[in-house]
Amino acid sequence: MEPNSTITILGFSLLLIYGLTKILDFYGIGIDIYGSYLAFYLFLLLSSFILTRNYRKFNIAITKPITQN
């Protein structure tokens, strides 16, 4: 992931989370209700930054037929 896209994704995520929490607070929904969901989505966001996205290509070509004895 390029640094510019990381900053953009992080910025949009923070704006979305902030806006969503303000909307939920306006309607009287407390953090005790949506806190676990928010923590899960923050975990997913953090995992997407930490874990790699470049995987090696695996060649799964079978050259000989599989026979049973």
- Closest by CA position to 18, among listed 40, 1, 42, 36: 42
For the chain, which residues make up each domain, given as ranges? 3-50
Q: Return the pLDDT at 9.
A: 86
12-67 pLDDT per residue, tens? 999 999 999 999 999 999 989 989 999 999 899 888 888 866 766 766 666 666 66
Q: Which amino acid does the sequence have at 9?
A: I
Q: What are the residues whose beta carbons fall under 8 Å from the beta carbon of 10, sequence distance 6 or more?
A: 45, 49
Classify residue 64 by its DSSP letter.
Answer: S
**Is pTM beyond 0.85 here?**
no
Q: Return the pLDDT at 6.
A: 80
